[in-house]
Structure 1
Amino acid sequence: MNINAKPARRFANHVNGQDQDGRQGETFESINPTTGAAFGRFVESSPADVDAAVQAARAAFDGPWRKLSPTRRGRLLMRWGDLIADNAEKIATIETEQNGKLIAEMRIQARLVQDWLYYFGGLADKIEGRVVPLDRTSVLNYTVNEPLGVVAAIIPWNSPTFLTIMTVAPALAAGNTVVIKPSEVTSASAIELARLAEQAGIPAGVINVVTGGRAAGEALVDHPAVAKVSFTGSDGAGRAIAARAGQRLVSCMLELGGKSANIVFDDADLDQVEAGVLAGIFAAAGQTCIAGSRAYFQKGIYDRLVGRLIERANKIKLGDPLKADTQMGPVATAAQLAKDESMVARAVEDGAKVLVGGQRRRVEGLDDGFFYAPTILGNTKPDAFIMQNEVFGPVLCVTPFESEEEVLALANGTRFGLAAGLWTADLRRAHLMARGLQAGTVWINTYRAMAFNSPFGGFKNSGIGRLNGAEAIQSFLQTKSVWCELSRDVQDPFVLKA
């Protein structure tokens, strides 16, 4: 037992501008993955707690939020972004203490969301309809884009603030209100974001937070007043959520898993490649949907590049993610650590060779932390379980290839299609490969890049819809067609006109 461990903090739901304890009094505990000690205790929300949050969101949608002009709503979003940036250090610290990712990355994400809120705040008053030139010239027909109502945002643990804002910013800019259910692993930052929103002047009830596990999520998806569900997480959970929402004919925005290919041709700059491949899989301990977990190296450089990666992987410093010199923190949960172990063990049984890592790592002074060594596997077959399923840990599978046709077939040979990277000096080949890759994002001579104004989402089983960019706001709108007869002529009701 760590006698220096801090007592677990207590957190309430945030509904209609107020902290609210659960009606049934049930709570759950989250764990700091770096130390293995308790981080905080949160409300295990019941259906009644979820209903209170949805009702608050619906009242805000029908009341103060709808009465604001789009321009005013947009300016409030911008002010919210300013406050989040001002509190980035606090937000980053509580997220690192919950998910074990590097403080530097969490800090950057907490600051970057200001750009997202400025972008979507600026789009709020640029949602326009159009006049349709009908053949019936006596009729004025125009379209209006209107918000849906209450949006449920179910957020994962790996980048909680960043992914919350990616969902919530376009939803609010479109005029909706939201109920956020964060992951049980990282619930604290969502509560902080809701409080800051109200400090920015966003009316109470526009943003509500309920914490809890599967039961709370199901109650939110099933609630009759929820007009849309936005979910980021695994493809298995996404299927279950889409099926439940489909029973009510409610649409979903799904950003799901990936098994992204990182392709390197023999004319690529190996210094750039080394940095890009490492960042793509180890920088966040592999805990990102866009992790470049399948690496394909052309045979002329395969041995040399693999050797460089092994050397670098052996030198990666694991430790406390709150310290500046730590290069990789723990994985977020004990369950994720066990998954990393079991998937690597299964890969070895299937014939893979561990080139480096492949086991838990003990870090001095953090004996109870959830650390797993940076791992590289060779000799993995294309149909092996580890090549077809997301690990969500620091595990890289490397495979040699000869031709463009061969590697394109290998890269596309999974049910996922979230992202892909390719490295080459031949721009003709780069663009032809980008055209052939079945992925929602393709990076050329870079990896793991994202921007507020560039759409993001997956092909195949990696999701439905797009976040970021102007496309995102359309996901949270519905189109109304308005017909107005301008003529005073009386039409015979029994004579139809074309």
Structure 2
Amino acid sequence: MKDMTNELPDGRLFVGGVWEEGHGAPITSVFSHDGSENMTFNGASREDGERAIARAKAAQADPAWRDMLPHERAKILHRIADGIEANIPRISRLQSRDTGKTLTETAALAASAVGTFRYFAAVLETSDDALTTRRGGFLTASVHEPIGVVGAITPWNSPIASDAQKLAPALAAGNAVVLKPSSWSPLVALELARIVDEAGLPKGLLSVLPGAGREIGNLIVEHADIGRIAFTGGTDTGRRLGEQAGRKLMPISLELGGKSPTIVFEDADQDLAVAGILFGIFSSSGQSCIAGSRLFVQRSIYDVFVAKLVEATKALRVGDPFADGTQVAPLINHEHREAVEAYIEGARGEGGEILCGGKRLSGAEYDKGAYLEPTIIAGLPNDAKTCREEIFGPVLVVLPFDTEEDVIAQGNDNEYGLACGIWTRDFPRAWRVGGAIRAGTVWINTYKQFSISTPFGGDGASGIGREKGREGLRVWQRQKGIYCDLTGQPHPWAGVTR
């Protein structure tokens, strides 16, 4: 079902709870399967952003929201979750048109957003402040309060799931949120705004402003009334935003890129490993920060295992994201495909051997789309550019290793530290290697599995801070200590007597 004329947003932005025409540069959403245009509308201007932040500040300060009891805020989060769940078919179709992802994946992303809002509603109702241990004649407490107005900047590769991962805890914490989705995939965030609005969130507490990063992104980071930022995206942009936040002394979390190693030991269940590796790198067409893009295979099984992996890769079904059984869909757009192709050509120049893929698909179904064959490259050293930089496409490099110490050294020889996959039947070894690899997430005998209850984030060039989990609520709040005298007596230092 690709004709969605009646399901597209109307082109207005959600500016501080009001649906308004944007005043920024036009944004065009394209269906990357065939290059057809979904719609064009005006993005947000800096003035739109200023207006959204002013409305957010007023709404967050309103006692109706500021003083709302946690269980009442939780009811709103549950209504948002219900609204998303009721609209999963529409959301998944819209997101497939906007990103080129398969319907199976976009439905899973929408379902993930449902779970995220419900989880943080539950966390909100069960997160208690605390009386701290008394150290004198006073009662002491640790309490948490909203930050105020906060910003969220989300990527094009996983709309609604990434949006929910930031919006749900930020709203649960009592904040107002200004969300900037990517201009490459803006439609689902606007649909989410409609659902949130219909769920009864007080006006002004949410804005959704797709627009140019140099305008809206910079405004969100620099504005004096924004008290915290969460960003998911590229490492170079993350570094720049971190510098801007540092000048404001504003907390920021950055979930950035990755060049994640997957490791196959000689005792691994090879069928299990092949399936997990294929999913880890070629699902989402490789457009995933946690993609397992560096594969290390123990030398004793290298030839046999890689041959099996290549054969399985060639059998993957590449095609229309709306077709049943499609496993690998087109890339987000033709521009991004060209960037990925440049890495493949660079690998050839570095002496890499293309074991499979490496070129565009051709034929009536593919000629107009942003399709690229799933690609496996061998013969490169770990310090080659192709092995060091994030490609963000369906490209896997394979390298041999000899010992546990060897693969730990190679795995860590990279600026990124986001994820790692380990395939072995030897659990103590998996535990040792998982502990030694620098990564925010380690999967053992599986890959690319997520739980909203488990913290997620990266180290090094993969970012700072964590999202998800119970502590994912607290990062959106300020902690305050309160002291209350119990003696009723003047402080002796003052020399005051009754």
Q: Within 2, Cα distance between the matches of 1:240 and 1:117?
A: 30
Contact 1:146 1:478 in 2 (8 A): yes
| Per-residue Cα deviation, 1:276-308 (whole angstroms, up to 9, x for no partner) | 000001111100111000001111221111111
* Matching residue's letter, 2:319: G
Q: Please give the secondary structure, in 2, of the residue aligned with 1:160.
A: coil
Give runs of aligned pairs for residues 120-135 of structure 1, distance below 5 A: 120-135=120-135
Q: Within 1, Cα distance between the matches of 2:469 and 2:177?
A: 20
Q: Within 2, Cα distance between the matches of 1:347 and 1:92?
A: 35
Aligned position for 1:269: 269
Q: Within 2, Cα distance between the matches of 1:117 and 1:207?
A: 15
Contact 2:9 2:191 in 1 (8 A): no
Q: How many residue pairs end up in the alignment?
A: 491
Q: Within 2, Cα distance between the matches of 1:273 and 1:490?
A: 70
Aligned position for 1:422: 422
Cα distance change, pair 293–108 in 1 and its aligned pair in 2 (3 A): same
Cα distance change, pair 6–122 in 1 and its aligned pair in 2 (3 A): closer
Q: Does 1:471 align with 2:488?
A: no
* Matching residue's letter, 2:192: L
Aligned position for 1:173: 172
| Per-residue Cα deviation, 1:441-484 (whole angstroms, up to 9, x for no partner) | 00000000000101111121211111111121121111111122
| Cα offset, 1:134, TM superposition | 4.2
Coordinate RMSD, CA, aligned:
1.9
| Cα offset, 1:325, TM superposition | 2.4
Q: Which runs of 5+ in 1 are unaligned?
A: none
Aligned position for 2:235: 235
Aligned position for 1:154: 153
Q: Please give the secondary structure, in 2, of the residue aligned with 1:469.
A: coil
Q: Please give the secondary structure, in 2, of the residue aligned with 1:370.
A: coil
Q: Please give the secondary structure, in 2, of the residue aligned with 1:224.
A: coil
Q: Within 2, Cα distance between the matches of 1:151 and 1:5?
A: 33
* Matching residue's letter, 2:144: N
Aligned position for 2:143: 144
Q: Please give the secondary structure, in 2, of the residue aligned with 1:283.
A: helix
Cα distance change, pair 482–273 in 1 and its aligned pair in 2 (3 A): same
| Per-residue Cα deviation, 1:383-407 (whole angstroms, up to 9, x for no partner) | 1111111000000000111100000
Aligned position for 2:252: 252
Give runs of aligned pairs for residues 102-121 of structure 1, distance below 5 A: 102-121=102-121
Q: Within 1, Cα distance between the matches of 2:491 and 2:325?
A: 80
Give runs of aligned pairs for residues 298-309 of structure 1, distance below 5 A: 298-309=298-309
| Per-residue Cα deviation, 1:230-261 (whole angstroms, up to 9, x for no partner) | 10011111011111122211111111111110
Aligned position for 1:91: 91
| Cα offset, 1:6, TM superposition | 7.0
Between 29-38 and 144-153, the greater mean CA deviation after superposition: 29-38
| Per-residue Cα deviation, 1:1-50 (whole angstroms, up to 9, x for no partner) | xxx9979975111123321112x464221222111121222322111100
Q: Within 1, Cα distance between the matches of 2:80 and 2:184?
A: 24
Q: Within 2, Cα distance between the matches of 1:349 and 1:290?
A: 26
Q: Within 2, Cα distance between the matches of 1:20 and 1:178?
A: 17
Aligned position for 2:36: 37
Q: Within 1, Cα distance between the matches of 2:185 and 2:398?
A: 32
Q: Please give the secondary structure, in 2, of the residue aligned with 1:285.
A: helix
Q: Please give the secondary structure, in 2, of the residue aligned with 1:169.
A: helix
Q: Within 2, Cα distance between the matches of 1:489 and 1:81?
A: 52
Q: Within 2, Cα distance between the matches of 1:172 and 1:127?
A: 14
* Matching residue's letter, 2:305: L
Q: Within 2, Cα distance between the matches of 1:488 and 1:313?
A: 76
Aligned position for 1:382: 382
Between 54-63 and 187-196, the greater mean CA deviation after superposition: 54-63
Between 126-135 and 420-429, the greater mean CA deviation after superposition: 126-135
Between 26-35 and 183-192, the greater mean CA deviation after superposition: 26-35
TM-score by length of 1: 0.95
Contact 2:9 2:190 in 1 (8 A): no
Q: Within 1, Cα distance between the matches of 2:341 and 2:122?
A: 46
Q: Does 1:200 align with 2:199?
A: yes
* Matching residue's letter, 2:165: M
| Cα offset, 1:365, TM superposition | 3.2
Q: Within 2, Cα distance between the matches of 1:170 and 1:252?
A: 15
Q: Within 2, Cα distance between the matches of 1:123 and 1:268?
A: 38
| Cα offset, 1:492, TM superposition | 4.9
TM-score by length of 2: 0.95
Q: Within 1, Cα distance between the matches of 2:183 and 2:432?
A: 42
* Matching residue's letter, 1:488: G
| Cα offset, 1:271, TM superposition | 0.8
Q: Within 2, Cα distance between the matches of 1:366 and 1:428?
A: 46
| Cα offset, 1:127, TM superposition | 2.9
| Per-residue Cα deviation, 1:70-103 (whole angstroms, up to 9, x for no partner) | 1011121112111101101111111111111111
Identity %: 36
Q: Within 2, Cα distance between the matches of 1:390 and 1:27?
A: 29
Give runs of aligned pairs for residues 5-20 of structure 1, distance below 5 A: 10-20=10-20
Give runs of aligned pairs for residues 293-372 of structure 1, distance below 5 A: 293-372=293-372
Cα distance change, pair 368–265 in 1 and its aligned pair in 2 (3 A): same
Q: Within 2, Cα distance between the matches of 1:158 and 1:25?
A: 23
| Cα offset, 1:117, TM superposition | 1.2
| Cα offset, 1:60, TM superposition | 1.8
Cα distance change, pair 201–6 in 1 and its aligned pair in 2 (3 A): closer
* Matching residue's letter, 1:399: L
Aligned position for 2:187: 188
Q: Which runs of 5+ in 2 are unaligned?
A: none
Between 418-427 and 50-59, the greater mean CA deviation after superposition: 50-59
Q: Within 2, Cα distance between the matches of 1:39 and 1:244?
A: 35
Aligned position for 1:484: 484
| Cα offset, 1:166, TM superposition | 0.9
Q: Does 1:413 align with 2:413?
A: yes
Contact 2:16 2:53 in 1 (8 A): no
Contact 1:221 1:244 in 2 (8 A): yes
* Matching residue's letter, 2:143: V
Aligned position for 1:54: 53
| Cα offset, 1:327, TM superposition | 1.7
Q: Within 2, Cα distance between the matches of 1:221 and 1:154?
A: 10
| Cα offset, 1:317, TM superposition | 2.1
Q: Within 2, Cα distance between the matches of 1:52 and 1:371?
A: 40
Q: Within 2, Cα distance between the matches of 1:348 and 1:448?
A: 28
Contact 2:319 2:365 in 1 (8 A): no
Contact 1:9 1:39 in 2 (8 A): no
Q: Within 2, Cα distance between the matches of 1:109 and 1:123?
A: 21
Q: Within 1, Cα distance between the matches of 2:467 and 2:197?
A: 24
